[in-house]
Amino acid sequence: MNALFAAWNQRMAALARSCGSRRQRLGMLLALSISLLPLSPARSQPAPPEGATRSAGVAPEAASVKMTVQNLGGGVYFVQGESAMGSAANQNFISNAAFVVADGGVLVVDALGSPPLAQRLLQEIRRITPLPLRYAVVTHYHADHIYGLQVFRAAGARVVAHVAAREYIGSDVARQRLAASREELFPWVDEHTEVVEPDLWLGADGQEEMTLKIGRSEFLLRHVGPSHTREDLVVYMPQTGLLFAGDLVFRDRIPFVGQADSGRWIAALDRLIALQPRTVLPGHGPVSQDPAPDLRLTRDYLDHLRRSMGEAARNLEPFEEAYAHTDWSRFEALPLFRAVNRMNAYNTYLLMENEAR
């Protein structure tokens, strides 16, 4: 996967030199985006003590990537993916997932990047509780968050997502990305892996919020896109102040911007900062017990991209020159800076060109 992003960086430089018009560059960027996309319940056992961790116990051939369950208290559990690009070596375990054991069942947030990873997470759930799976909520339809969905649906969960995901689910991009992932992530993603369509759509009735109830627990789902994606949603537990933020928040690593509407992403982060959550579970990186600085770091990175690349676009400065003299010192020590920052900057350069039209 790192080789793919190295190829992106090389081809992007050539693209900046060879394509004169904005329309040409946007079309070529879309083509490059598609071609280079990364591609029986166990017996219930006592849960680990609050604040403790436990490594998932699975068959040796599936355990080459470490998965550790963190007990956050109040029935909330969390697993953290690696700060890396998806690959067969890490089974596409590059994103986070969580589950909540309520008094009437289990709610899962995000499904990880391959069916075997989801199966391992399901085994962990079954070690903690025999209660049924009620819902699997998808914060957005990126591959590293959705390829495990079929496991949770088969276990009885209703899949929930925002209605804007329909456009991706039925698209050529989704089919091409899955085909590429079946090659790059084999055998963890294979011909049996599917893009699962939700059973319950947030926004289908025109409402941008929905409350799911399991026993005495309430989960507020709120649409916050378009930002990182059009279908972004967050899950908030008002009784505890805990926020499942999905990929609106990248902690301790550089965000993947892709085709995001970064202006609206910043606005969504401002709303989350105003919410003042006590704990944030990001889509990537460790749990945040001091959310405000972590929310601001993602926000500040996006703002820096927009300011620097926006000025270059307005001044008709070539991208390579603008990138070379931009000060990246605040962010360059973060994981994946070298892998994705140039791509993020170029996507933002094109976005700012388009906004200036």
Q: What is the pLDDT of residues 314-338, one digit of tens each?
A: 999 999 999 999 999 999 999 999 9
How many residues belong to the chain? 357
For residue 8, pLDDT over 50 is answered with no
For residue 290, pLDDT over 60 is answered with yes
- Model confidence at 50, pLDDT cuts 50, 70, 90, reads low
CB count within 10 Å of CB 269 equals: 23
pLDDT, tens digit, 9 for 90 and up, residues 344-355: 999 999 999 999
- Model confidence at 51, pLDDT cuts 50, 70, 90, reads low
d(CA 255, CA 241): 24
Beta strands 68-73 and 76-79: pairing type? Answer: antiparallel
Mean pLDDT in residue range 122-130: 98
d(CA 310, CA 184): 35
Tell me what pLDDT residue 356 has: 85
pLDDT, tens digit, 9 for 90 and up, residues 169-196: 999 999 999 999 999 999 999 999 999 9
- Model confidence at 64, pLDDT cuts 50, 70, 90, reads confident
Element (H, E) at 293: helix 291-314
Contact by Cβ (8 Å): 126, 105: no
Mean pLDDT of the chain: 87
pTM of structure: 0.84
- Model confidence at 259, pLDDT cuts 50, 70, 90, reads confident
Tell me what pLDDT residue 16 has: 45
Contact by Cβ (8 Å): 51, 61: no
Where b means 16+ CB within 10 Å and e means fewer, 156-187 reads ebebbbbbbbbebbeeeebeebbebbbebbee
Helix (H, G, I), strand (E, B) or coil at 130: coil
Tell me what pLDDT residue 163 has: 98
Tell me what pLDDT residue 357 has: 82
For residue 17, pLDDT over 50 is answered with no
Q: Which of 49-53, 58-62, 266-270, 277-281 has the lowest mean pLDDT?
A: 58-62
| Residues 6+ positions from 164 with CB-CB distance below 8 Å | 203, 223, 225, 226, 229, 230, 231
For residue 14, pLDDT over 90 is answered with no
Tell me what pLDDT residue 26 has: 45
Q: What are the beta bridge partners of residue 71?
A: 77
